[in-house]
Amino acid sequence: MDMDLAKFFDRVNHDKLMARVARKVTDKRVLRLTRSYLEAGVMIGGMFERTKEGTPQGGPLSPLLANIMLDDLDKELEKRGHRFVRYADDCNIYVKSRRAGERVMGSIRRYVEGRLKLKVNEEKSAVDRPWRRKFLGFSFTNYKRPLIRVAPKSLDRFKDKVRELTSRRRSMSLAERIHELNQYLRGWMGYFRLAETPNVFKKLDRWIRGRLRMCLLKQWKRGRTRVRELMALGILREEAAKIGGSRKGYWRLTQAPQVKIALGLDYFKSRGLFSLSSVPSTG
């Protein structure tokens, strides 16, 4: 059962939230400061507007306040003996059958909307197999022993970002491009290293190298330049000439054996390209 709360950070009731914070915090100065944080207001179109509900989106205190607000939900799920995982307003509950999931969905929805005065997002919530859902960017494989994997939508967003960083329209040196790319790859892999599917990371590494080859071929636009650069990388003149005189598109040329040999794993490793598959999994 995959449950998402509709606009949680926009709609949470201040009085109910502060009542729950007061259970954990006895210092009245901290309580007053927290209330001021909630009611600080926002600027909309250059105009100040006081906030009567919700917590600041992206605020450093908001996830902590969400956990305090939803602590009652955790306790309720524990009392019922459910296996679950929750982060802020995202919650997955694991049951043995679809019928059980639908029953739990109905009862938990009534609890959340009746007791906590929050709204379940019907569009994003569902009862389904774990490998068809995602949680914090992760999903599972459909194996007898399921493995943690990167969710398909997370992979799509990753590829969109890499395409942006390796766009041939961005004129820059290979060193600058690799530096920018490495910053993104290290951060992304630092989060997704929990995944237990190393072959996916190897495929992504190959795809990234192909994107960089395409950038280099675009820089070596003239046939003579391609021939010269490929020969400098150890490719025979006849083989280099085939690439230099080819009318194929840049991506098709990146798949040519001569180009793969010249601009292979060792070439990009020597230039400091970060490898996703070289990071040990923590899964």
Q: Which residue has the tokens 């766009």?
A: 167
DSSP class per residue in 4-40: EBTTHHHH-BHHHHHHHHHHH---HHHHHHHHHHHTS
Residue 179 dihedral angles phi and psi, to the nearest 5°: -60, -50
Measured distance between the N- and C-terminal CA atoms of the chain, rounded to whole angstroms:
23
CA distance 78 to 160: 40
User: Quick one: tokens of 208?
Assistant: 């990234």
Identify the pLDDT of residue 137.
94
Global pTM value:
0.81
Cβ burial of 281 (10 Å; 0-12, 13-18, 19+) is: middle
Indicate left, alpha or beta for 54 from its phi (over 0: left) and psi (-120 to 50: alpha): left
Give 226-260 pLDDT, tens digit per residue.
Answer: 899 999 999 989 888 988 888 888 888 898 898 99
Identify the pLDDT of residue 49.
66
Q: Report the side by side order of strands in the sheet with 83-87.
A: 2-4, 90-94, 83-87
Specify the amino acid at residue 183.
Answer: Q
Q: pLDDT per position in the chain (283 positions), as tens?
A: 999 888 887 778 888 889 989 988 889 999 999 888 888 766 667 766 677 777 777 778 888 888 888 999 999 999 999 999 998 888 999 999 999 999 999 999 999 988 888 889 888 899 999 999 999 999 999 988 889 999 999 999 999 999 999 998 888 899 999 999 999 999 999 999 999 999 999 999 999 999 999 999 888 888 899 899 999 999 989 888 988 888 888 888 898 898 999 999 999 999 999 999 987 766 5
